[in-house]
Amino acid sequence: MKILLTGTTGQLGHTLLPLLNTHFEVVAPTRQELDLSDAAAIEAFVAECQPDLIINPAAYTAVDKAETESDVAHAINAVAPAVFAQQAKKLGIGLIHFSTDYVYDGSLRDAQGGLPPYTEDAQTNPLNVYGKTKLAGEQAIIASGCNYLIFRTSWVYSTFGKNFLLTMLRLANERDELRVVNDQWGAPTSANSIANVTVNIVGQLLAAEDAAQWWASHRGIFHLTTQGRTSWCGFTEEIVRLAATTGRLTKAAPKVIGIPAVEYPTPAKRPTNSCLDTTLLSTTFGVDIPTWDGALADCLKIT
């Protein structure tokens, strides 16, 4: 099986590549080899490559910058997935794509004012340009009529690339105090846990006797995060605790102080409730989903 994999200089693509290329032929173009803001180039690349499956973790992920770069964010997050989907439909192959908790506005509350997790059928209403472009990408994939899996994930981190975990590990070694937002809730999700589930599901697809039948019964949008929830502040407390116990701090652990989001204004608005319900994913594919703090401990163990 030949897989076309994008975004291998990013967190998720980088994590997926070694898991996939031990079993499959993987074609993984860099930005220099395939610029995803060039729709014609994508079409030509797929036609030349003739993959059996496309996996597209590449995205424009600079959430705040997207507010002033909406054209390029739209090209990469909405048009590129649309072209991949059209090509997948043309070749009769599947597309695995990744989306985000930011398709929701985060205002979901239960009767007690608590924050229930969003299920896949909940009303989308992105608050920022990044979320709007990712939602447009999802909609274009669905409209193409191709066989697709869209995994919405949240708060992605790894020991590679640019992310909250690495930023906090750096700041924990520089500062005596970390002031972090404590009124936005979600599930920090390691690139490793997303990659493990994705590879498991690719294995299920391959093992299927009738691929068309498999797609007919599995195609759709799924929430793929870790289990449980915390705030950015709670995530930081756990990062600092684990950093201290695994010898990653060169000084005394900083004090972590929770602040409301209004005290940390950003160009892009972010949802208060980013919690996603992963029940559909685990019941459909029978996959184990780690807890957010278990996945964090695992991630720091394998560094």
Ligand X SMILES: NC(=O)c1ccc[n+]([C@@H]2O[C@H](COP(=O)([O-])OP(=O)(O)OC[C@H]3O[C@@H](n4cnc5c(N)ncnc54)[C@H](OP(=O)(O)O)[C@@H]3O)[C@@H](O)[C@H]2O)c1
Contact residues toward ligand X (CB under 6 A) are: 7, 9-13, 31, 35-37, 57-61, 76, 98, 100-101, 134, 153-156, 161
> Burial of 177 by CB count in 10 Å (0-12 exposed, 13-18 middle, 19+ buried)?
exposed
- Nearest residue (CB) to ligand X, 155 versus 208: 155
State residue 163 phi and psi, 5-degree precision: -160, 170
Smallest distance from ligand X to CB 112, Å: 27
Q: With CA atoms as reference, report the closest residue to 102 among 83, 79, 77, 81.
A: 77
Q: Which 8-state DSSP code applies to residue 227?
A: B
Tokens encoding 111? 């009767």
Paired with 276 in beta bridges are: 118
Strand residue runs (E) in 182-245: 185-186, 189-190, 220-223, 230-231
Smallest distance from ligand X to CB 126, Å: 12
Smallest distance from ligand X to CB 271, Å: 11
- Nearest residue (CB) to ligand X, 60 versus 176: 60
Smallest distance from ligand X to CB 278, Å: 14
Cα-Cα-Cα-Cα dihedral sign, residues 97, 100, 105, 110 = positive
Q: How far apart are CA 14 and CA 34, in angstroms?
A: 16
Smallest distance from ligand X to CB 51, Å: 16
* SS3 per residue for 138-174: HHHHHHHCCEEEEEEECCEECCCCCCHHHHHHHHHCC
- Nearest residue (CB) to ligand X, 157 versus 215: 157
Amino acid making up residue 212: A
- Nearest residue (CB) to ligand X, 160 versus 211: 160
- Nearest residue (CB) to ligand X, 130 versus 215: 130
Smallest distance from ligand X to CB 82, Å: 14
Residues in the chain: 303
- Nearest residue (CB) to ligand X, 35 versus 67: 35
Q: Which of 130, 148, 157, 264 is catalytic?
A: 130
Q: Which residue is nearest to ligand X (CB)?
A: 10
Q: How far apart are CA 28 and CA 57, in angstroms?
A: 11
Annotated catalytic residue 148: no
Does an H or E element contain 245, and which?
helix 232-245
Residues that are catalytic: 130
